[in-house]
């Protein structure tokens, strides 16, 4: 009987169409499958069973003679699934009568647009010089828009973010600014998902070569359907661009870059076991923040061209169901940081990063269960960056430094403990003309939430308590012999200690915090005819205590007062400062959440003694703001919404030195605003 079943299966499969099928979820249509050369009498005596991926969809089947209809499985996510249909005989034997791959997709448009335009007019004021940085009439607008079309094998997408300010107070310094713009398309091919985009290219990497890198240009990508590999190439401007009239594609050789990134999983069945990644960037720039400039004239037009190439190789390995994470990365650069043709030639250098993290996930979830530990995490990482290492995609990375970090975090039901240490040092190559400096920071944090009887009237009155303690010690030092290189000694220690108690009730949360920061300086004074005179900073102590509350007075009313006392003193000196600060925030939503009121008041008072008691200063500042926002019309569909606002601010300053006459001034301004906004479409 088994031989007969196998023979029948082979015969049926030989007549089965293996063409790739497609099912559009947006149309909610059924998929029809013809079972060729299957005897109708056998179909009448048997039942059908269908497997789509890992799902049994037999309940979605219906049959009319040899034609099988599959109801649209709308609950599934779009993707490609293997489809198998079995004939189940009365004896229980299953015969595979159809096998194919099914593309489930949703051909549809998704769009979203949010446009806001606002105009404000200052209708009254005093002390105009206090508002000299503003204009009486200001208009500003912001636009966010996106659109995406998804089909069976293709997808198109676009996104834009722009803003306009009549006072040119934008990041680019121009009235109209294009913060983000991107259009692209993706198409499924036999080798993977092929992509293309024009506009802002964001490299989604955090490492030695790339870090938050976003530039205008062109990119292509290729990604396997399973995600096993992903290749990206880019051709971009080296410098950020925000203005509308700045070029979209790089045309100047001295201000363009190109490169690629590649990610690949070595093991197909267990991709997390070893994931390799690499990245490369090469280009030039006139960005003066890149390196050391020898030219005296730093005008951008005369600035030297800097540039070079950087690449890296990284490996990530995860084991024990992601409980263990190992990471290693090494990068090399060949970069001319002082200007091509100026000073020294390109110099080679390298950077490395290592990480080991073990946590209470997966296989190690119950490793510390006998100790009643709920969660824990242990990590260590080390980063080493050479003095001459540069990357155009990570200019701000500190160089000539090694940083080692270790951390332990353990949590129980009511108690948690955090221990950490960070060590850093420079002059890694022990250059005789550079100082050797080291820094070590150790910290500990404790969090405790006791289990209390809620029926206790005392705790019901003040709230559920939680106690937090933290302490940190930072030490910086330098070899005594290096004072002749930099002109100062370095040997100081900073102690930071904080204790915070928070109390939570249903409509009242409040906290009390006390902190002490002590600075101890063991550095010695230094004097040199060439390097000048160095006087070390004195020992200081700063103590502060703060009390804050958050009260929900009514359903739509919240009140948040804050009080803080500060006492700052210089050791072995009469120099000191005492300060008191009181603040109040009040927010309310009225008229069915269409009228909003926000009030802020702050008072700061400082009494200081300088010059060993020879000079005193008494300063006090009171300021408040009031904001009313009325949503006169709600945005619906393509119809805009309208909001009217009235904002006022007032401040008063009192200042007195020694016995001089008291100097007092106050000012205010009132601003009226109108805002119109559209919010239409999907995908907001």
Quick: pLDDT tens for 257-283.
Answer: 999 999 999 999 999 999 999 999 999
* CATH 2.60.40.1220 domain position(s) in the chain: 5-108
Tokens for 456, please give them: 């206790």
Distance between CA atoms of residues 399 and 208, nearest Å: 11
Contacts of residue 510, defined as CB under 8 A and 6 or more positions apart, other chains included, come to 463, 502, 503, 547, 548, 549, 550
Helix/strand/coil for 362: helix
| CATH classification number, 5-108, choose in 3.20.20.70, 2.60.40.1220, 3.40.50.300, 1.10.4160.10 | 2.60.40.1220
Cβ-count burial 375-395 (b if 16+ within 10 Å, e if not): ebeebeeebbbbebbbbbbbe
Return the residue matching tokens 């700061």: 604
Per-residue pLDDT at 141? 94
- Sign of the dihedral through C-alpha 22, 23, 29, 33: positive
Decide if pLDDT at 297 tops 70. Answer: no
pLDDT tens by residue, 493-524: 999 999 999 999 888 899 999 999 999 999 99
pLDDT tens by residue, 52-77: 888 888 888 777 777 888 777 766 77
pLDDT-based confidence at 12, cuts 50/70/90? very low
CA dihedral of 130, 132, 138, 141, whole degrees rounded to 10: -90
pLDDT tens by residue, 133-167: 777 899 999 998 988 887 777 889 999 999 999 98
Per-residue pLDDT at 683? 44
Return the residue matching tokens 């096993």: 228
Return the residue matching tokens 């870059």: 257
pLDDT-based confidence at 299, cuts 50/70/90? low
DSSP state of 243: B
Decide if pLDDT at 633 tops 70. Answer: yes
List the beta strands (DSSP E) in 136-224: 137-150, 154-165, 176-189, 192-206, 211-223
Distance between CA atoms of residues 615 and 84, nearest Å: 90
pLDDT tens by residue, 304-346: 888 999 999 999 999 999 999 999 999 999 999 888 888 788 9
Burial class (CB in 10 A: 0-12, 13-18, 19+), 46: buried
Return the residue matching tokens 């197909």: 268
Element (H, E) at 484: helix 483-486
Distance between CA atoms of residues 676 and 643, nearest Å: 7
The torsion angles phi and psi of 40, rounded to 5 degrees, stand at: -65, -35
84 vs 92 pLDDT, higher one: 84
Per-residue pLDDT at 474? 98
Distance between CA atoms of residues 473 and 93, nearest Å: 73
Per-residue pLDDT at 339? 84
Cross-strand pairs, 136 = none
* 3-state SS string for 1-53: CHHHHHHHHHHHHHCCCCCCEEEECCCCCCEEEECCCCCHHHHHHCEEEEEEC
Q: β-pairing, 641-657 with 615-633?
A: antiparallel
Distance between CA atoms of residues 300 and 302, nearest Å: 5
CA angle 507, 511, 514 (to 5 degrees): 175
Decide if pLDDT at 28 tops 70. Answer: no
174 vs 560 pLDDT, higher one: 560
Per-residue pLDDT at 19? 39
Distance between CA atoms of residues 79 and 77, nearest Å: 6
Contacts of residue 200, defined as CB under 8 A and 6 or more positions apart, other chains included, come to 180, 181, 182, 214, 215, 216
Decide if pLDDT at 606 tops 60. Answer: yes
pLDDT-based confidence at 531, cuts 50/70/90? confident
103 vs 629 pLDDT, higher one: 629
Per-residue pLDDT at 293? 47
pLDDT tens by residue, 205-240: 889 999 988 999 999 999 998 889 999 999 999 988
Mean pLDDT of the chain: 86
Per-residue pLDDT at 510? 95
């Amino acid at each position: 009987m088994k031989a007969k079943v196998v023979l029948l299966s082979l015969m049926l499969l030989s007549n089965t169409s293996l063409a790739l099928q497609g099912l559009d979820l947006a149309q909610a249509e059924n998929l029809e499958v013809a079972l060729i050369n299957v005897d109708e009498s056998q179909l009448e005596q048997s039942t059908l069973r269908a497997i789509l991926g890992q799902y049994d969809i037999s309940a979605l089947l219906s049959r009319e003679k040899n034609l099988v209809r599959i109801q649209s499985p709308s609950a599934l996510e779009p993707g490609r699934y293997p489809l198998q249909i079995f004939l189940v005989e009365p004896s229980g034997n299953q015969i595979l009568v159809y096998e194919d791959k099914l593309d489930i997709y949703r051909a549809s448009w998704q769009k979203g647009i949010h446009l806001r335009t606002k105009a404000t007019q200052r209708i009254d004021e005093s002390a105009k010089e206090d508002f000299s940085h503003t204009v009486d009439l200001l208009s500003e607008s912001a636009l966010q828009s996106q659109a995406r079309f998804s089909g069976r094998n293709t997808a198109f997408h676009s996104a834009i973010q722009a803003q306009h300010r009549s006072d040119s107070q934008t990041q680019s310094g121009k009235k109209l600014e294009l913060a983000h713009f991107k259009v692209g398309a993706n198409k499924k091919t036999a080798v993977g998902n092929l992509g293309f985009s024009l506009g802002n290219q964001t490299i989604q990497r955090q490492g030695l070569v790339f870090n938050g890198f976003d530039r205008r240009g062109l990119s292509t990508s290729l990604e396997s359907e399973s995600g096993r590999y992903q290749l990206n190439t880019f051709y971009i401007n080296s410098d950020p661009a925000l203005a509308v009239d700045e070029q979209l594609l790089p045309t100047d050789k001295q201000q363009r870059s190109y490169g690629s990134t590649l990610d690949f999983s070595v093991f197909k069945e267990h991709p997390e076991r070893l994931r390799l990644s690499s990245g490369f960037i090469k280009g030039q720039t006139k960005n003066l923040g890149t390196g050391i400039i020898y030219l005296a004239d730093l005008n951008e037009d005369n600035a030297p061209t800097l540039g070079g190439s950087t690449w890296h190789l990284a490996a990530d390995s995860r084991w024990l169901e992601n409980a263990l994470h190992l990471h290693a990365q090494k990068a090399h650069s060949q970069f001319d940081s002082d200007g091509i043709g100026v000073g020294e030639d390109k110099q080679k250098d390298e950077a490395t990063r290592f990480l080991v993290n073990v946590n209470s996930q997966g296989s190690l979830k119950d490793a510390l269960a006998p100790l009643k530990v709920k969660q824990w995490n242990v990590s260590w990482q080390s980063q080493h960056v050479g003095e001459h290492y540069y990357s155009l995609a990570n200019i701000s990375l500190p160089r000539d430094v090694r940083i080692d970090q270790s951390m332990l975090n353990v949590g129980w039901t009511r108690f948690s403990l955090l221990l950490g240490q960070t060590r850093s040092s420079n002059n890694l190559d022990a250059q005789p003309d550079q100082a050797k400096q080291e820094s070590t920071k150790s910290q500990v944090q404790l969090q405790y939430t006791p289990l209390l009887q809620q029926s206790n009237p005392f705790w019901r009155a003040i709230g559920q308590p939680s106690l937090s303690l933290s302490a940190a010690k930072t030490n910086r030092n330098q070899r005594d012999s290096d004072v002749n290189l930099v002109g100062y000694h370095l040997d100081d220690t900073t102690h930071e200690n904080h204790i915070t108690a928070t109390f939570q009730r249903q409509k009242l949360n409040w906290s009390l915090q006390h902190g002490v920061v002590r600075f101890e300086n063991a550095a010695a004074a230094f004097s040199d005819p060439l390097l000048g005179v160095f006087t070390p900073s004195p020992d200081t102590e700063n103590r502060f205590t703060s009390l804050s509350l958050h009260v929900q007075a009514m359903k739509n009313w919240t009140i948040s007062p804050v009080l803080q006392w500060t006492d700052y003193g210089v050791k072995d000196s009469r120099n000191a400062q005492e300060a008191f600060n009181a603040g109040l925030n009040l927010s309310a939503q009225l008229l069915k959440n269409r009228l909003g009121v926000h009030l802020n008041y702050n008072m700061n008072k400082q009494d200081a003694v300088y010059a060993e008691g020879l000079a005193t200063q008494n300063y006090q500042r009171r300021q408040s703001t009031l904001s009313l926002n009325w949503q006169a019309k709600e945005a619906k569909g393509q119809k805009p919404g309208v909001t009217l606002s009235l904002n006022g601010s007032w401040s008063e300053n009192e200042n007195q030195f020694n016995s001089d006459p008291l100097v007092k001034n106050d000012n205010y301004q009132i601003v009226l605003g109108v805002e119109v906004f559209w919010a239409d479409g999907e995908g907001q």
